[in-house]
Structure 1
């Protein structure tokens, strides 16, 4: 028996129920309470959510929360579940805090709804685990997080302009609960024009362009902008920052960009008390302690994944807990004869008689188009679970064109291929450190980054929040019906 909590973000309510099975065979939903509201997952009974933290998982019970993306119709399907492990995220946050050590602090990057995983629960988890700030890109994202009990500032990375004294962000700017990134002098002047009417200074971080050339001021203009921020009434300089172009793949380029940034910091000399210098995101944080400085910005790292070179990932990745898992099951299985083609465009033909399984997720759910094998390309692989549900039986290649709602996989190489029938559990992304279905490896097989894969998973895929005490290994007992 599992205790489940499903959040409908449009209604800001929680549904409670007792369930005995999940995606792979929902049989019982015993409602707790009477009030039923439309649009709630599974039509469960509900109670108001007061913002209090839900109880942590205990032995034999898993806390689960399913997030409905805001301002979207309730069109999630039950063909797959995307698990987000908050306990793993907390462990990863703590691991990075230990890596950098004081006085360096960590900022958790949760832009784009925490890469689609749910900005509010992820941000709460990161701050409770010790991160000192969280960062978003847009004003709207910051406003959404302000409704959560973070107790930490929110840093807006994008260039915020055209603020007015009545803007809903103003009280949080005055209190320091929201901080801004300044990219040029004209933006600073716009912020300063409204800052003088506030009871407290607006805290800003000056962004220096050391080579990315997508934001920030050129190095030649940086000293003037930094001095202006330190002297302007109503403005507090909380940080100096830059962003590396290739920290995960190019050590030489990263050193050169750091040198550009360091030269500017040295020219400024004494900075205001509390002003933090920061340049490193996840990859640079792992690459070299010299990049830690006053703060590091951790994005993909809290998911349990290190972007960039394999060697860089191996250096620290084993100390992290993979925090995401995407599960589905076979909807249909059929025989395909040698020479017969699969899917639109006949891009893949069987080189032998085989069995093909159909998984009911497609590009509308976030499966990359490049996942499918065709003549001349290998394709990504997904895990197929054993018939007893105790282990991974093997891996099956995605074949042919990825369709909107489904993919085909070649089951022919599985040792128990003749026994594979509809209903068998499969895993697209695994919460493991190795194998073709890790977040990193599945994304690489599709020719994209892990960030892009996560952010592309569609709103109709149900996100379920769980808390697990330890990372699941490939050999650990697998019980798909228990939704663990």
Structure 2
């Protein structure tokens, strides 16, 4: 079989969740597993976490139903709420919690007759300017939902635009707005995403929403002692499938972007953009071959990529190649580092691994 596999370390996933809890021991931490658990497989990851977490969070009702049908019974929050009033019977049937960020959602909810009241998280726009009610209108909406028999366990939530940044100026503006509103309403809060969980204790509320950190990616501009404890969950591994010797000046790959500056040894690896590996990877993007650093040489193709192994004499057909994550020898190539060479972020790499790449779940990667 083709050797490219995404190995998923469920022990590392649990470790990272427990780290989030240690960062904010007075908060409850909902595990965010939207986008198929950031490409890791939502049902498998949810089962690995279910004994630890008080609730899960997803983006939409399709993701929530997949978890329910996969045997997950813990509460599930719809972070974007419903997209149509027709979804409310499903929210009721599957016992979901829902965010409310728009007036039409309030109208739909208060016109609905659920079998039991629905837990609601009212989303306020404190400065992200994406979803949520304006801070100045939120008090009226809050009171309407408090009075609605369809609603229970009402919480206030917001989302930070710059919690990952070292400069806390705009972050502080956002948190001051929403905390002032929460104080006026005497409302329980859910504010902290991964970077706020890791670096901004002032944002820790009744609930936090760790997401990308659960999968071992550091979301901060500058790493701190806590983020250095994160463990990679996905290790994308393949093998060398061909080797060739090139003379100085010879090109490699489409358009001949990379040319040998000396007599070079080039390895072909079974992985490409057809698997979700980013085509924008630059020459020099690191990989691990038998646990040692080598670099991409030439443009990534649909099914293959090429690397320079001139200085790694032991590289051979079948040698392990780690595109990000942990090698079988223990060395780690952070997905965040690879993302920088692709002019992107770890989120896009992890969620972009396509279905033809098998996921193999194990309790630890040794």
Once residues 251 and 111 of structure 1 are traced to their aligned partners in structure 2, the CA distance between those partners, rounded to angstroms, is 27
Match of 1:125 in 2: 48
What's the offset of the Cα at 1:168? 3.5
Match of 1:306 in 2: 218
Is 1:221 the counterpart of 2:137? The answer is yes
Match of 1:343 in 2: 253
CA offsets per residue over residues 252-276 of structure 1, 9 Å max, x none?
22111111211211222x34xxxx3
Is 1:193 the counterpart of 2:111? The answer is yes
Match of 1:467 in 2: 363
Indicate if the aligned counterparts of 1:243 and 1:279 stay in contact, CA closer than 8 A. Answer: yes
- Higher deviation after alignment, 452-461 or 232-241: 232-241
Paired residue for 1:96, among 4, 15, 20?
Answer: 20
Once residues 210 and 431 of structure 1 are traced to their aligned partners in structure 2, the CA distance between those partners, rounded to angstroms, is 38
Indicate if the aligned counterparts of 1:380 and 1:398 stay in contact, CA closer than 8 A. Answer: yes
Structure 1 residues 165 and 100 mapped into 2: Cα distance closer, same or farther (>3 Å)?
Answer: closer
Structure 1 residues 206 and 168 mapped into 2: Cα distance closer, same or farther (>3 Å)?
Answer: closer
Paired residue for 1:408, among 306, 310, 317?
Answer: 306
Indicate if the aligned counterparts of 1:97 and 1:131 stay in contact, CA closer than 8 A. Answer: no
What's the offset of the Cα at 1:232? 1.9
Once residues 78 and 240 of structure 1 are traced to their aligned partners in structure 2, the CA distance between those partners, rounded to angstroms, is 48
Match of 1:380 in 2: 285
Once residues 219 and 87 of structure 2 are traced to their aligned partners in structure 1, the CA distance between those partners, rounded to angstroms, is 41
Find the residue that maps to 1:371 and give its secondary structure: coil
Aligned length: 363
Across the aligned residues of Structure 1 and Structure 2, the Cα RMSD in angstroms comes to: 2.0
Find the residue that maps to 1:330 and give its secondary structure: strand
Structure 1 residues 237 and 161 mapped into 2: Cα distance closer, same or farther (>3 Å)?
Answer: farther
Please list, as runs of the form range in 1=range in 2, the aligned pairs for 1:42-441 lying within 5 A after superposition.
78-102=2-26, 104-128=27-51, 130-164=52-86, 167-172=89-94, 177-194=95-112, 197-249=113-165, 250-268=167-185, 270-271=186-187, 276-310=188-222, 313-373=223-283, 379-385=284-290, 392=291, 394-414=292-312, 417=313, 419-431=314-326, 437-441=333-337
Once residues 55 and 224 of structure 2 are traced to their aligned partners in structure 1, the CA distance between those partners, rounded to angstroms, is 27
In the superposition, the TM-score normalised over structure 2's length comes to 0.94
Structure 1 residues 190 and 161 mapped into 2: Cα distance closer, same or farther (>3 Å)?
Answer: farther
CA offsets per residue over residues 157-209 of structure 1, 9 Å max, x none?
1131433498433223xxxx310100022211111211xx2231111100011
In the superposition, the TM-score normalised over structure 1's length comes to 0.71
Once residues 380 and 165 of structure 1 are traced to their aligned partners in structure 2, the CA distance between those partners, rounded to angstroms, is 44
Indicate if the aligned counterparts of 1:381 and 1:436 stay in contact, CA closer than 8 A. Answer: no
Structure 1 residues 165 and 355 mapped into 2: Cα distance closer, same or farther (>3 Å)?
Answer: closer
Indicate if the aligned counterparts of 1:91 and 1:321 stay in contact, CA closer than 8 A. Answer: yes
Structure 1 residues 139 and 261 mapped into 2: Cα distance closer, same or farther (>3 Å)?
Answer: same
CA offsets per residue over residues 22-54 of structure 1, 9 Å max, x none?
xxxxxxxxxxxxxxxxxxxxxxxxxxxxxxxxx
- Higher deviation after alignment, 77-86 or 331-340: 77-86
Question: Could you say which structure has the larger radius of gyration?
Answer: 1
CA offsets per residue over residues 267-311 of structure 1, 9 Å max, x none?
22x34xxxx30111111111121111111101111112221213x
Structure in which a larger fraction of residues adopt helix: 2
- Higher deviation after alignment, 111-120 or 163-172: 163-172
CA offsets per residue over residues 228-273 of structure 1, 9 Å max, x none?
21112312243110010111114222111111211211222x34xx
Structure 2: which 5+ runs fail to align?
Answer: none
CA offsets per residue over residues 341-396 of structure 1, 9 Å max, x none?
111111111111110000011001111112131xxxxx3110011xxxxxx2x211
Runs (4+) of structure 1 exceeding 6 A deviation are none
What's the offset of the Cα at 1:146? 1.2
Once residues 216 and 381 of structure 1 are traced to their aligned partners in structure 2, the CA distance between those partners, rounded to angstroms, is 40
Indicate if the aligned counterparts of 2:326 and 2:332 stay in contact, CA closer than 8 A. Answer: no
Structure 1 residues 278 and 342 mapped into 2: Cα distance closer, same or farther (>3 Å)?
Answer: same
Match of 1:456 in 2: 352
